[in-house]
Amino acid sequence: MSEFKSLAGLHAAVTGGGSGIGAAIARSLLQAGARVSLLGRNAERLQAQAELLRELGPVAIQIVDVSDEASVSQAFAALGAVDILVNNAGQVQTAPLQRTSLALWNEMLAVNLSGTFLCSRAVLPAMLERGFGRIINVASTAALTGYAYVAAYCAAKHGVLGLSRAMALEVAKRGVTVNAVCPGYTETDIISRAVDTVVSKTGRSADEALAGFAASNPQGRLVQPEEVANAVLWLAQKSSAAMNGQAIAVCGGELM
């Protein structure tokens, strides 16, 4: 699809666009002809990623804390009209439920769920006015099932899916679609940190810890960021208008 510049003339905003899945999504959208804005909290990381991507098309950066209402309002006012919003910014911390502090709980909801809400609310009026828009929320398989020791994260991602479905129904007749992409364990910095945590707490080797994550995928491997980006690119197409309120699991068959 991307070779035909199917997104030419459209402006895409990708939160958490400085690395990992967000960077892969930005690359895919640029290759399809979109103008892309990378959003995140780390200016240095965003700038470095923008420099890597600019050979593919126009890239801008915007500093934002997606969990802060004022920051989101200011950032999206500076961006102007957005045709495609990819809510990719996310964060995960592990703890058994009985050791999950209220502060950790609130942080997981603020970044993963409230951030998706605030950014979606910021772009929606202009999308409805134009009669076109794509909101694509990068959730997780944790939006579809439970995982031990990440109750707050699972709750937040389940919330993202519920939010996606509710929004999808509200805008169904207005030319806007809202969908969620739910990756399984993906080869990103989050997994690298998770491996470090397993090693420190269990004494297993890094290879053993990594194999444990890969084993949840029937294909016996980690999902690649580009594979998640392909799903996002498909949902972003004008021709994908019938895809609305869906949760697309990108996990090699872990969930069916």
Domain ranges of the chain: 2-184+224-239, 186-222
Distance, CA of 183 to CA of 185 (rounded, Å)? 7
Distance, CA of 6 to CA of 85 (rounded, Å)? 16
Percent of the chain residues past pLDDT 70, beyond the cut: 99
Alpha helices in the chain (DSSP H): 20-31, 43-53, 69-79, 102-109, 115-130, 151-171, 189-202, 206-214, 225-236
pLDDT of amino acid 195: 78
Known catalytic residues are: 153
Average pLDDT of every residue of the chain:
95
Q: What letter would DSSP give residue 187?
A: S
Residue 92: Cβ within 10 Å count: 20
Chain segment 187-206, per-residue pLDDT in tens? 987 888 887 888 888 888 98
State which amino acid sits at residue 132: F
Domain 2-184+224-239 has CATH 2.60.120.560: no
Chain segment 6-27, per-residue pLDDT in tens? 999 999 999 999 999 999 999 9
pLDDT of amino acid 203: 85
Which among 156, 174, 180, 170 has a CA at the least distance from the CA of 246? Answer: 180
Prediction pTM value: 0.94
Question: Is the pLDDT reported for residue 3 higher than 80?
Answer: no
- Inter-CA distances, 234 with 76, 103, 120, 229, 248, Å: 24, 37, 19, 9, 11
